Amino acid sequence: MRKTNFVSTFGALAVSGMVLLAAPALGQDTGAAPAAPAADSTAAAPAAEPVSESHLSAARRAIEAIGATEEFDTILLTAATQTKAEFIPNNPDLQTEISNMVDDKAIALAPRRAALETEVARVYAGLFSEAELNEIADFYSTEAGKKLLTEGPKAARESLGAANVWTNGILRDLRQASLEGMNEIYQANAPAAEDGAAPAAPAEDTGATPQ
C-alpha cells in the first residue's frame, strides 16, 4: 500500500508538472492572437563563446590535479543518509528494506556525477585559458605540486598562528609606546596649568598587558 501511494503521489506531481508546462500552449488555442512580446529596451547579452573540447579536457586535467571536486564525493552519500532518515522512522520495521532500496536508487543516480564534473570544468574553462589550465595541471602533477596540496592547509594554519602571535606583540608594544607618549604630552602641558593647579597625573597602565 505504501508503495502504491508513493507511486500515485509521484505520478500526480508529474502530471501536474506536465499540465503547468502545457498551460501556455492551451491558453493560446482559443483563436485569439497571441500577445506581442514585450520590447527589450536593453541590449541583448552577448552569447557565451563556445568552449572547445581541448579546453574542457585541459580543465578536467587541472580539476583532477588539484582535487577541486573531491569535496563533492559525499553529496550522494549524504543525500542517501538524509533520505533514509526521512523514511525509516515512519517504517522502523522495514529499516533493512528501505536502507537497501535507497542505496540502490542512489547507485542508479551515480552516473549523473559526470554532469557535475562537466559543469565544474566549464567554470574553470571560463576563468582560465587552455594554456593556463595545462600549466596548472602540469605543476600540481609534480611532487612539489602534490606536496603543496597536502601540506598547504597545515602551512596556512601555522602561518595564521604566527600572525596571531605577531599581532599580540604589536598591540602590546603599541599600547606601551602610546602610554609613554601620553606621559610626554602631560609633561609638555604641565606649565599651562592655571592658578598653580597640579597637572594631570601621568597615564598609568592599569590594564592587562597582552601576551
For the stretch 46-90, pLDDT in tens is 556 788 999 999 999 999 999 999 999 999 999 999 999 999 999
Confidence at residue 208, expressed as pLDDT on a 0 to 100 scale: 56
Instruction: Tell whether 196 is covered by a domain.
Output: no
Confidence at residue 178, expressed as pLDDT on a 0 to 100 scale: 96
**Residues 144, 65: Cα–Cα separation, whole Å:** 12
The reply to whether 123 and 152 lie within a common domain is: no
The reply to whether 137 and 55 lie within a common domain is: yes
Q: In terms of residue numbers, what domain contains 178?
A: 143-186
**Residues 92, 102: Cα–Cα separation, whole Å:** 15
Instruction: Tell whether 14 is covered by a domain.
Output: no
Confidence at residue 203, expressed as pLDDT on a 0 to 100 scale: 57
Confidence at residue 155, expressed as pLDDT on a 0 to 100 scale: 96
Look up residue 197 and give its three cell numbers.
593647579
Domain count, the chain: 2
Instruction: Tell whether 204 is covered by a domain.
Output: no
CA–CA distances in Å: residue 59 to residues 111, 123, 128:
20, 9, 8
The reply to whether 150 and 182 lie within a common domain is: yes
**Residues 101, 173: Cα–Cα separation, whole Å:** 65
Instruction: Tell whether 31 is covered by a domain.
Output: no
Residue type (1 letter), 91: N
- Residues making up the chain, counted from first to last: 211
Instruction: Tell whether 6 is covered by a domain.
Output: no
The reply to whether 90 and 154 lie within a common domain is: no
Confidence at residue 49, expressed as pLDDT on a 0 to 100 scale: 73
The reply to whether 159 and 103 lie within a common domain is: no
Instruction: Tell whether 169 is covered by a domain.
Output: yes
In this prediction, the residues of the chain whose per-residue pLDDT falls under 70 are 1-48, 192-211
Residue type (1 letter), 18: M
Confidence at residue 1, expressed as pLDDT on a 0 to 100 scale: 43
The reply to whether 137 and 56 lie within a common domain is: yes
The reply to whether 135 and 150 lie within a common domain is: no
119 and 68 Cβ atoms separated by less than 8 Å: no
The reply to whether 103 and 182 lie within a common domain is: no
